[in-house]
Amino acid sequence: MAKKIQAYLQIMRFPNVFTAMADVIAGYLIVRGSDIQWSTLVGLCISTAAIYAGGCVLNDLCDRKIDAQERPSRPIPSQRVRVKEAFFLTVFLFALGLLAAITAGLPSFITALGLVLLVVAYDTLSKNIAVAGSLNMGACRACNLILGMSPALQFGPPFTLLPLVTLLYVTTLTALSKFEVQGGLGRRRIPVLMGWGSVILLALWLKIHADLQPGMLVFLAFFVLFTGPALLRSMQNPQAKYIGLAVKSLVLAIPILDAVYCAGFQGFIYGIPVILCIVPSLILARYMYVT
């Protein structure tokens, strides 16, 4: 039984679930500040966790033939999770995510439904299409941030710019992840570095032009220090091992980027609960794969 549970947690990319929750918590705090309705926030956290996990299961379900050759130890190729089990787990998690979103209101449910559609589109259609797949995954994360904002979303800048920054960041790391198995980047080094650098510059631009609070700069510095060394090493040595480590650091750094947003709009103290989402991710990432 314990081995079966472990296999389910692995196929759901359980360490990453907390990075998805960071998106939602940040989005919610940005638009609500200290006016927190805990039942709504908990419902949104359950929603994003379930949808993210369901997308990961669907991803492995769709990739089972490729994984049988490239990653035979993963749950489905190793038969620790059967295809039928993975299918029903996907349906259950998506349904749970949508039901949890209803508790936060109609706008949240509509956003969650859009997120599910984006996830399914990525797993079943776009992920093998170079640019479209990376943009699709970026759109999933941007929509996840919007899910957190959905109870009190204010359309217009600077709020609408934050999902665009997330879109750029996750598009960049998804493009890099395509080389985790075979290695080699070639001319792709330049757009990857430009994408990462642009995220940092956009955050600084928002700080200046939207007059955001200075506490965000502390989290931004931490973001650079957390992601920069592994990314630059993968640029210098584009072997699969180093690219994998860079992708892992970029994924795990999503709560740090979310904390940048949150601290900018609401103050340094509000970024702390967001960045703390990285702690369980880092601990669990020692025992389970992240990408």
pLDDT, position 120: 98
Can you give the residue ranges of every domain in the chain?
A: 2-284
User: CB-based contacts of 142: which residues, under 8 Å, 6+ apart?
Assistant: 163, 164, 166, 167, 170
**Does position 291 have pLDDT exceeding 90, yes or no?**
no
| CA 22 – CA 45 distance, rounded (Å) | 9
DSSP3 helix / strand / coil % (the chain, rounded to 5): 80, 0, 20
The per-residue pLDDT of the chain, averaged, comes to 94
Tell me which CATH homologous superfamily contains domain 2-284.
UbiA prenyltransferase (1.10.357.140)
This prediction's pTM:
0.95
Numbers of helices and strands, H then E, in the chain: 14, 0
79-88, 162-171, 202-211, 282-291: least confident range? 282-291
The amino acid at residue 89 is L
Do residues 167 and 139 touch, judged by C-beta distance below 8 A? yes
The amino acid at residue 151 is P
Please report which confidence band the pLDDT of residue 155 belongs to, taking 50, 70 and 90 as the band edges.
Answer: low
| CA 176 – CA 182 distance, rounded (Å) | 12
Nearest CA-CA partner of 74 in 49, 56, 92? 56
